[in-house]
């Protein structure tokens, strides 16, 4: 969905930050945030205004916090992680119409279906390894599952599931304490949809609002789940092997795979096409494998 130009309060803020005029504005769409590509300054700089427009989530969602994303981007500023650079933040909407961040615009396009799957997985694993190498010297929130009993109620198998028994066993496995596994800085929502590519080269990782301190296995679980749904469990397994080769040790634990699977069903509506039903089938297959490995 296209979005009209940001209000003048936002554009004036951009002009003040870059100390120059705005030469172009283009909508980049509306999702969890409203995004506009802006060229501004002399010479023009490629920028993005990211506006956190969802007032309900701003009040209630602990992972929809502009100040946290700003802190994460500052943490990444001097690293090799290909993240946007933060130019200015209005985390409480005191200048703009809503909380907003002004960041650099990364070159490339969103991830598409790769023609070289092995090269694709290597690039993703190398990028994730760089994320996990970032020293955690900034106060970031600790990891917590998206599932919150006080908000979501008792866990229930999804209505579309082909095996309610599978999910009951998952919930039982998650009822005990979490294992002690290697932890540090994590993206928390690392999957192909958060990456930008120029040809076969990964040139950017975006959407850092969930950056936090937590188990590395959470990032592995989220990426592997998305790969399994899109390309099958074999590709998810290959990613795990590639990541292990890149970092020299195995950071995965099936507990985090199951935690992420149980989180994922919170947002999955019943399938309305056969293609989506097939994707859900691959999701449950992946979950069953993780459960068997616990």
All structural domains of the chain with their residue ranges: 8-104, 109-293
Amino acid 248: pLDDT: 95
User: Looking at beta carbons, which pairs linking 41-44 to residues 24 or more positions away fall under 8 Å?
Assistant: none
pLDDT at 234 over 90: yes
Amino acid 162: pLDDT: 85
Candidate CATH numbers 2.60.40.10, 3.40.50.1100, 3.50.50.60, 3.90.1200.10; the one for domain 109-293: 3.90.1200.10
Question: Rounded CA gap, 127 and 213, in Å?
Answer: 18
Contact present, 88 and 17 (Cβ < 8 Å): yes
Give mean pLDDT, residues 3-8: 85
pLDDT band of 138, cuts 50, 70, 90: confident
pLDDT at 4 over 90: no
Question: Rounded CA gap, 112 and 192, in Å?
Answer: 9
* pLDDT tens per residue across span 88-127: 999 999 999 999 999 999 999 999 999 999 999 999 999 9
* pLDDT tens per residue across span 179-229: 999 999 999 999 999 999 999 999 999 999 999 999 999 999 999 999 999
Closest CA to 90 of 189, 11, 187: 11
Amino acid 3: pLDDT: 66
Closest CA to 22 of 44, 6, 7, 2: 44
* pLDDT tens per residue across span 37-81: 999 998 999 999 999 999 999 999 999 999 999 999 999 999 999
DSSP string of 172-233, one letter each residue: HHTTSPPP---EEEE-SS-SGGGEEEETTEEEEE---TT-EEEEHHHHHHHHHHHHHHHH-H
Question: Rounded CA gap, 89 and 197, in Å?
Answer: 26
Residue length, the chain? 294
pLDDT at 84 over 90: yes
* pLDDT tens per residue across span 146-163: 999 999 999 999 999 989
Question: Rounded CA gap, 65 and 209, in Å?
Answer: 6
pTM for the whole thing? 0.94
Amino acid 2: pLDDT: 56
Fold of 8-104: Phosphorylase Kinase; domain 1 (3.30.200)
* Average pLDDT value for the chain: 95
């Amino acid at each position: 969905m296209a979005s009209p130009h940001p209000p003048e309060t936002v554009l004036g803020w951009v002009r003040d930050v870059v100390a120059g005029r705005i030469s172009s504005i283009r909508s980049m769409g509306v999702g969890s945030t409203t995004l506009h590509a802006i060229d501004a300054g002399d010479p023009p700089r490629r920028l993005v205004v990211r506006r956190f427009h969802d007032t309900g989530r701003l009040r209630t969602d602990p992972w929809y916090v502009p100040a946290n994303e700003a802190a994460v981007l500052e943490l990444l500023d001097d690293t090799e992680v290909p993240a946007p650079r933060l130019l200015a933040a209005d985390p409480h909407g005191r200048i703009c119409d809503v909380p907003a961040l002004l960041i650099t615009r990364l070159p490339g396009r969103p991830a598409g279906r790769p023609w070289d799957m092995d090269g694709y997985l290597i690039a993703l694993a190398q990028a994730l390894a760089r994320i996990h190498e970032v020293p955690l010297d900034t106060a970031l929130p600790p990891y917590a599952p998206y599932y919150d009993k006080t908000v979501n109620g008792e866990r229930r198998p999804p209505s579309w599931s082909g095996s309610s028994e599978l999910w009951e066993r998952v919930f039982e496995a998650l009822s005990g304490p979490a294992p002690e596994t290697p932890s540090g800085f994590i993206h928390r929502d690392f999957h192909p949809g958060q990456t930008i590519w120029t040809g076969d080269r990964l040139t950017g990782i975006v959407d850092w609002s969930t950056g936090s301190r937590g188990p590395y296995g959470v990032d592995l679980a989220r990426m592997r789940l998305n790969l399994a749904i899109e390309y099958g469990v074999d590709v998810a397994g290959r990613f795990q092997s590639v990541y292990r080769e890149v970092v020299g040790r195995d950071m995965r634990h099936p507990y985090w795979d199951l935690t992420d699977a149980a989180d994922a069903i919170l947002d999955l509506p019943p399938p309305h096409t056969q293609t989506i039903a097939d994707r859900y089938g691959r999701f449950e297959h992946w979950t069953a494998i993780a459960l068997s490995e616990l």
